[in-house]
Structure 1
Amino acid sequence: MRQNPSFTLADVTEIRRVIDANPWTTIVSNGPDGLVSSHYVALLDDDRDDLTIVGHVGRPDDLIHGMGERELLVVFQGPHGYISPGWYGDVQAVPTWNYTAVHLAGVPEILSDEENLAVLDRLVDRFEGRMPEPRRMWERPNDPAFVTRLASGTVGFRLTPTRVVAKRKLSQNKSAETVETVIAELEGDGPYAHPGLAAEMRRAHEARTGGLR
């Protein structure tokens, strides 16, 4: 991902927030047969306060990616959407796309079976916890043999990135008035309305201006 000083996201706390809010990833590696990508959920390692993540892949994706042997690129994609030039007023302009993305690269560590089970358990709790009647991993009708059998078909990993590129392109190069107009359009009911993207723009704008409008 090409970096641009105007759009650089360098604050670790903010990067962690983006990762936590957008756990569905694209995992990319370059193997003997060329580039390959997979899609899996990854979470921040709750024993660390840096950008270390944990997750799993299904077998044989661990072999396809050379898990534990080759560098992986893990991409987290935040809210994104179309920005119309009509929202800028009567000025020369072209369409663009606003987005937030985090790229973490490094060689992952393979988790033990016990560690992998703990990560899988945490994944289930994270997402089932929002359900009115959560189905936890170890609860009936599941039994330990069923859970262990399914877990054996996965390979857990921990990635402490050696390279981080994070970017939020959210109209920071536009005037405050234009930013407010774009946010209003995204909060509206038009064909490209996107409240989540509007909220990210508001957050970035207030961080840049100290909360002033």
Structure 2
Amino acid sequence: MKFPSGSAQDLLKLIGDHPLAWMVSAREGRFQAIPLPLLAETDALGELVSLLGHCSRSNAQVAHLRENPRALVLFSGPHGYLSPSLVSNPTWVPTWNYAVAAIEVDMTFVEEETRGSVVRLSDAMEAGLADPWTIDRAGPRVGPMLERIVAFRAEVRSVWASFKLGQDETLEALNELISGTSDRALADWMTRFNAERLPQGALAPE
């Protein structure tokens, strides 16, 4: 079975819920990679058009990406092994469910947005907290910190995503897997992607 690439909203939820991604590039036949939290930027139609982030200026990959801006960004959402012990069917075999995306991008470093990128990322991560942190709390540390990092915008060229979340399972097996797995984040995504097959009310509100 070919698993769905999901909707624009599925992709944005994956990035929003799991913002830490691998930024991968190649130089002279050797790969370079760095893990970075990224923010999705969308157009008027809600489609992903770019990713905003920042990184250390001293990272060797920065100089490389200034020369050759093409990169691959890898996001991994909830995933996990599902054991036959969760399913009553004795012939059911183990599997691994996942939500992943690979996004080809062109990188542009935007020095003037460095402070803004820190503010936007921290605001997104602090949202919902009782006493959210703001950059002003860092006081005199802000200036030196901003001098050591640089913001970038990764313009989206293409997207490949796959959401393997139990769509090929029988309804009985699906229910057993969702109720039996200890990974509730994975269970929630399985529920979300099988909402039309599951009993009404099974899908939790977002």
Which has the higher mean CA deviation after the structures are superposed, 51-60 or 66-75? 66-75
Cα pair 1:19 1:76 within 8 Å, conserved? yes
User: How many correspondences in the alignment?
Assistant: 198
Question: Equivalents in 2 of 1:116, 1:64: separation in Å?
Answer: 14
Offset of 1:211 from its aligned partner? Answer: 6.6
Tell me the residue number matched to 1:163.
Answer: 158
- CA deviation map 1:160-209 (0-9, x unaligned): 211211111111111111111100102xxxxxx011111000000115x4
- What TM-score, normalized by structure 1, do the two folds share? 0.82
Tell me the residue number matched to 1:57.
Answer: 55
Question: Equivalents in 1 of 2:20, 2:63: separation in Å?
Answer: 18
Tell me the residue number matched to 2:23.
Answer: 27
Tell me the residue number matched to 2:131.
Answer: 133
- What TM-score, normalized by structure 2, do the two folds share? 0.85
For residue 138 of structure 1, give the secondary structure of its aligned residue in structure 2. Answer: helix
Tell me the residue number matched to 1:38.
Answer: 34
> 1:160-199 counterparts in 2 under 5 A?
160-186=155-181, 193-199=182-188
Spell out structure 1 runs of 4+ moving beyond 4 A. Answer: 210-213
Offset of 1:62 from its aligned partner? Answer: 5.6
Question: Equivalents in 2 of 1:163, 1:57: separation in Å?
Answer: 23
For residue 25 of structure 1, give the secondary structure of its aligned residue in structure 2. Answer: strand
Tell me the residue number matched to 1:102.
Answer: 101
Offset of 1:159 from its aligned partner? Answer: 1.3
Letter in 1 for 2:10: E
Unpaired runs of 5+ residues, structure 1, are: 187-192
Unpaired runs of 5+ residues, structure 2, are: none
Question: Equivalents in 1 of 2:115, 2:12: separation in Å?
Answer: 23
Over the residues paired in the alignment, what is the CA RMSD in angstroms? 2.3
- CA deviation map 1:25-63 (0-9, x unaligned): 111111236112111110112676322210112122264
Question: Equivalents in 2 of 1:211, 1:148: separation in Å?
Answer: 54
Match of 1:12 among 8, 11, 17: 8
Offset of 1:110 from its aligned partner? Answer: 1.3
Cα pair 1:29 1:65 within 8 Å, conserved? no
Give the 3 Å change call, closer, same or farther, for CA 90–63 of structure 1 in structure 2.
Answer: closer
For residue 180 of structure 1, give the secondary structure of its aligned residue in structure 2. Answer: helix
Tell me the residue number matched to 2:81.
Answer: 82
Offset of 1:157 from its aligned partner? Answer: 1.1
